[in-house]
């Protein structure tokens, strides 16, 4: 666990450095391709702001796009009591608790560290789970908080989204402004700009997948150790996997944060290859062999 915490802290710094370099590189290439020097400083500013913003405000951004609202003791007393009890057992400060009004069962944790952590669940999750199953979900999310997965995954969500938006904006700028003759010899930069615009979002997606998949198995195991009942989480994963409806408030940028893939499941090799989560069947098998 301590190795995981140390690794995630360093990975967070490395991730920020990579995305700053990637966004700056995109800006440099497009500045030459469009013969507009102003694009490069704009790209640098965007990279710095998105990095700082993702560190300090990624939890607020994720909660905002998910349309989550704070849980109240009047409506969600059982949820709040379960979170506070497991936080005490895990030796963590009690995280803030939010709810998404959606019938699809799911949950996620976010924040930059255990002192600024948030656990968010859907109303569908609370309606479909019993007390032991709910504790299994919370134990899983507590593990993400304790291991600093929340910082790493929130950074990925915001920075990857920034790369996608910036690539799309620059590609549109290229089509509107880049059709003039390349008499100044910038054809190489035009080609590089097109390649970056097309491949940068793919690179950001691959990073999301690599970060998310590896962390889920560990969080499952640590969550089961915290609750002392692996079957509780295994049963939850079965219910989420069998739920027919996707989570309406989820997107490709935030899907990797959830305990299970919140988007509509698709079959096939490519779908599994680019899934944000490891196979549910394998996660359940591992839990039931503990």
pLDDT band of residue 9 (cuts 50, 70, 90) is low
The more confidently predicted of residues 169 and 111 is 111
Of the ranges 130-144, 145-159, 254-268, the best mean pLDDT one: 130-144
**Rounded to 5, what percent of the chain is helix, strand, coil?**
70, 5, 25
Residue 245 has what DSSP assignment?
Answer: S
* Tokens found for residue 276: 């944000």
The more confidently predicted of residues 19 and 8 is 19
Residue 212 has pLDDT above 50, yes or no: yes
CA angle 247, 64, 143 (to 5 degrees): 70
Q: Does residue 165 contact residue 231 with C-beta atoms inside 8 Å?
A: no
Q: Where do runs of H (alpha helix) occur along 121-268?
A: 123-128, 131-146, 149-177, 187-227, 230-242
Residue 179 has pLDDT above 70, yes or no: no
Q: At what angle are helices 187-227 and 280-288 packed, to 10 degrees?
A: 30
Q: Which residues are CB-contacts of 233 (< 8 A; sequence separation ≥ 6)?
A: 133, 136, 137, 139, 140, 220, 223, 224, 227, 287
105-115 as b/e: b if 16+ CB within 10 A = bbbbbbbbebe
Instruction: Please state the φ and ψ torsions of residue 92, each to the nearest 5 degrees.
Output: -120, 155
Work out the average pLDDT over 216-220.
87
pLDDT of the residue at 94 = 95
Residue 256 has what DSSP assignment?
Answer: G
pLDDT of the residue at 216 = 86
pLDDT of the residue at 278 = 83
Residue closest to 257 by CA, chosen among 130, 80, 122: 122
Express each pLDDT in 32-84 by its tens digit: 777 777 777 877 787 778 777 777 887 888 899 899 999 999 999 999 999 99
Catalytic positions: 141
pLDDT band of residue 272 (cuts 50, 70, 90) is low
Radius of gyration (C-alpha) of the chain in whole angstroms: 21
What separation in angstroms does the CA of 41 have from each of 31, 34, 46, 164, 249? 9, 14, 9, 18, 34
Distance between CA atoms of residues 247 and 251, nearest Å = 9
Other Cβ atoms within 10 Å of 41 Cβ, number: 12
Report field, pTM of the whole predicted structure over 0.85:
no
Residue 185 has pLDDT above 50, yes or no: no
Residue closest to 137 by CA, chosen among 168, 97, 101: 97
Residue 210 has pLDDT above 70, yes or no: no
Distance between CA atoms of residues 121 and 137, nearest Å = 9
Q: Which of 1-5, 26-30, 172-176, 237-241 has the lowest mean pLDDT?
A: 1-5
Mean pLDDT (the chain) is 81
pLDDT of the residue at 183 = 47
For residue 288, give the H/E element and its range.
helix 280-288
pLDDT band of residue 181 (cuts 50, 70, 90) is very low
The more confidently predicted of residues 219 and 213 is 219
Work out whether strand 117-122 and strand 96-100 pair parallel, antiparallel, or are unpaired: parallel
**What percent of the chain shows pLDDT beyond 70?**
82
Express each pLDDT in 85-134 by its tens digit: 999 999 999 999 999 999 999 999 998 899 999 999 999 999 999 999 99
Q: At what angle are helices 149-177 and 131-146 packed, to 10 degrees?
A: 70
Q: Which of 4-18, 218-232, 261-275 has the lowest mean pLDDT?
A: 261-275
Residue closest to 12 by CA, chosen among 49, 54, 40: 54
Residue 280 has pLDDT above 70, yes or no: yes
All structural domains of the chain, each given as residue ranges with its CATH number in brackets, are 2-58+152-207 (no CATH), 64-149+211-288 (3.30.2010.10)
């Amino acid at each position: 666990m301590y190795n995981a915490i140390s690794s995630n802290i360093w990975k967070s710094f490395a991730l920020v450095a990579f995305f700053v370099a990637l966004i700056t590189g995109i800006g440099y290439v497009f500045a030459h391709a469009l013969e507009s020097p102003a694009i490069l400083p704009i790209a640098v500013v965007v990279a710095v702001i998105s990095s700082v913003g993702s560190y300090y405000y990624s939890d607020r951004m994720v909660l905002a796009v998910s349309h989550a609202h704070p849980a109240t003791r009047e409506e969600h007393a059982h949820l709040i009591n379960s979170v506070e009890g497991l936080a005490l057992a895990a030796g963590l400060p009690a995280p803030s608790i939010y709810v998404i009004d959606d019938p699809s069962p799911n949950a996620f944790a976010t924040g930059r560290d255990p002192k600024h952590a948030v656990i968010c669940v859907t109303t569908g999750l609370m309606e479909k789970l019993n007390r032991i199953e709910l504790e299994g979900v919370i134990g899983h999310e507590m593990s993400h908080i304790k291991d600093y997965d929340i910082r790493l995954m929130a950074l990925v969500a915001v920075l990857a989204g920034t790369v996608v938006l910036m690539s799309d904006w620059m590609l549109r700028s290229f089509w509107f402004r880049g059709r003039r003759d390349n008499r100044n010899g910038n054809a190489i930069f035009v080609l590089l700009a097109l390649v970056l615009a097309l491949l940068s979002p793919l690179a950001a997606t691959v990073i999301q997948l690599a970060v998310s998949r590896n962390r889920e198995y560990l969080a499952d195991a640590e969550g089961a150790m915290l609750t002392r009942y692996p079957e509780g989480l295994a049963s939850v994963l079965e219910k989420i996997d069998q739920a027919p409806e996707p989570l309406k408030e989820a997107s490709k940028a935030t899907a990797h944060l959830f305990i299970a893939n919140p988007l509509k499941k698709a079959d096939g090799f490519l779908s599994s290859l680019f899934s944000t989560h490891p196979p549910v069947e394998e996660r359940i098998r591992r839990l039931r062999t503990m």
